[in-house]
């Protein structure tokens, strides 16, 4: 563990104490490895919460950013920004979307999706609908609108009154969803994998039913791909596994390989709902952030990252089932691609600390779920190394489980 970060330092910090930080200060990264300020090396199976999808400091993305640093950092969106056009064209070419709005984070992307859905229903379709249905255990962000959209009460504590216009239904329960729909419902917003909520997967039959409901009732289908997008699940976008073509979907995290950027993508018929002056972002789509996006997308395309994830994700899942699947502490192993949840029958916080001591970083998804998020270029040797560290920790936990 890093020795320079301690309780007294935390107490005197000038920062708001909004994060329960681990006692580690990370100062260097390369590929799947991180080093702390004491020189200790860690195998990273967190990827900055699914952000550094191409590993730390990926060469092609770095080259794009470095070149842009010498040219132009920022101009107002009142001017044409060629890098935005290039990045948007790449996203449209490799997705079902026709138009892109760039912002700075997943929360902002989801906020834009909510605003677009409302504005379309009210100003273009003329229905006046404004409600959006989301699902229990979902996570959509930390702005007032997106935390209200989130189907977890813990993120809402102390923020009342919350914005109106959101309803919640149980995930994968089509009858409950039907019951939640009203004359004011304008959109349904879901995640393909509820990553923060426990690594819960969308069931194919539910996905098909939601899609049919939206088409039947004139509702917009919004898919939050902030964590699942950009190759994480073995497809460029997770909704491709289900044959879905959402009206709107959102990206962030892995979109800039660590550079803060988000995007809201939509079908062409929604374009007129976001005319001049309807929505904006001062820092959305700067030349610097777009250079990171272009470098990231070009790497994904040229190296066929999603196909690689499909292979290594299958290998990781097989190794987990083989090495730890029968342990008494393990309740279920589930996931998609390189987004894996190991549900245990006891809290996993202590296991996180033990793994950090042993040089492996991972994160939880709720109190009882270990979430594994290696970068998308992780090797099979690194997967085996991670399991060698994790296996004895889970074996020891099984004794007391």
pLDDT 10s digits, 294-309: 999 999 999 999 999 9
Q: Is the pLDDT of residue 1 over 80?
A: no
> 174-225, pLDDT tens digit by residue?
999 999 999 999 999 999 999 999 999 999 999 999 999 999 999 999 999 9
Q: Cβ neighbours of residue 288 under 8 Å, at least 6 residues apart?
A: 65, 68, 69, 73, 74, 259
Tell me: the pLDDT tens digits for 61-98?
999 999 999 999 999 999 999 999 999 999 999 999 99
What residues make up the domain containing 200? 64-303
- What is the model's pTM? 0.96
Q: Is 227 part of any domain?
A: yes
Average pLDDT estimate for 139-144: 98
pLDDT tens for residues 5-45? Answer: 545 555 689 999 999 999 999 999 999 999 999 999 999 99
Considering the domain boundaries, does residue 134 fall inside one? yes
Of the pLDDT bands very low, low, confident and very high (cuts 50, 70, 90), residue 401 is low
Residue 343 lies in a domain: no
Q: What is the mean pLDDT of the chain?
A: 96
Positive/negative CA dihedral, 237, 242, 245, 249: negative
Sign of CA dihedral 198, 195, 175, 149: positive
* Residue 44 DSSP symbol: E
Would residue 3 count as lying in a domain?
Answer: no
> Which CATH number goes with the domain that contains 138?
3.40.640.10
140 domain-assigned: yes
Distance between CA 393 and CA 108 in Å, rounded?
A: 38
pLDDT value of position 8: 52
Residue 183 has which token pair?
């004359």
Rg (CA), the chain: 21
Average pLDDT over residues 128-147: 98
End-to-end CA distance of the chain: 26
Q: Which are the contacts of 22, defined by CB distance < 8 A and separation ≥ 6?
A: 353, 356
Question: Angle formed by the axes of helices 82-93 and 287-303, to 10°?
Answer: 30
Report pLDDT for 130: 98
**Mean pLDDT over residues 124-137, rounded?**
98
**Which is it for strands 360-361 and 220-224: parallel, antiparallel or unpaired?**
unpaired
What are 371-396's pLDDT values in tens digits? 999 999 999 999 999 999 999 999 99
pLDDT in tens, 313-370: 999 999 999 999 999 999 999 999 999 999 999 999 999 999 999 999 999 999 999 9
**Domain contains 398:** no
Condensed to tens digits (0 to 9), the pLDDT of residues 252-279 reads: 999 999 999 999 999 999 999 999 999 9
**Number of domains into which the chain is organized:** 1
Max distance between CA atoms of the chain, in angstroms, equals 63
- Is residue 285 a part of any domain in this protein? yes
The answer to whether position 46 is within a domain reads no
């Amino acid at each position: 563990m890093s020795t320079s970060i301690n309780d007294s330092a935390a107490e005197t910090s000038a920062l708001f104490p909004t994060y329960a930080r681990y006692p580690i200060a990370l100062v260097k990264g390369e590929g799947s490895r991180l080093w702390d300020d004491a020189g200790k090396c860690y195998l990273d199976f967190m990827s900055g919460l699914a952000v550094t999808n191409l590993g730390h400091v990926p060469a092609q993305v770095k080259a794009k950013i470095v070149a842009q640093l010498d040219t132009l950092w920022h101009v107002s969106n009142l001017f044409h920004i060629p890098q935005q056009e290039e990045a948007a064209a790449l996203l449209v070419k490799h997705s079902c979307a026709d138009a892109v709005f760039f912002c700075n984070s997943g929360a902002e992307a989801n906020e834009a999706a909510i605003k677009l859905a409302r504005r379309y229903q009210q100003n273009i379709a003329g229905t006046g609908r404004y409600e959006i249905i989301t699902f229990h255990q979902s996570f959509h962000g930390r702005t007032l609108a997106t935390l209200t959209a989130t189907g977890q009460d813990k993120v809402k504590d102390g923020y009342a009154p919350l914005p109106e216009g959101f309803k919640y239904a149980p995930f994968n329960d089509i009858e409950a969803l039907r019951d939640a729909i009203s004359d004011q419902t304008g959109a349904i917003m879901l995640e393909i994998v509820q990553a923060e909520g426990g690594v819960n997967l969308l069931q194919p039959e539910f996905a098909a039913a939601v899609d049919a409901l939206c088409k039947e009732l004139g509702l917009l289908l919004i898919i939050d791909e902030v964590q699942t997008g950009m190759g994480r699940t073995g497809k460029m976008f997770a909704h491709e596994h289900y044959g879905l073509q959402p009206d709107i979907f959102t990206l962030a995290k892995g979109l800039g390989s660590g550079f803060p950027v988000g995007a809201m993508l939509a079908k062409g018929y929604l374009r007129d709902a976001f005319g001049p002056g309807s929505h904006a972002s001062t820092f959305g789509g700067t030349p610097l952030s777009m250079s990171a996006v272009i470098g990231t997308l070009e790497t994904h395309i040229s190296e066929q990252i999603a196909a690689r994830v499909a292979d290594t994700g299958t290998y990781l899942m097989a190794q987990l089932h083989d090495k730890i699947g029968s342990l008494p502490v393990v309740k279920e192993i589930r996931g998609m691609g390189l987004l894996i949840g190991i549900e245990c029958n006891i809290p996993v916080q202590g296991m996180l600390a033990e793994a950090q001591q042993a040089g492996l970083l991972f994160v939880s998804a709720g109190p009882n779920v270990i979430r594994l998020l290696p970068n998308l270029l992780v090797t099979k040797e690194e997967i085996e190394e991670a399991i060698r560290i994790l296996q004895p920790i889970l074996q020891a936990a099984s004794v007391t489980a």
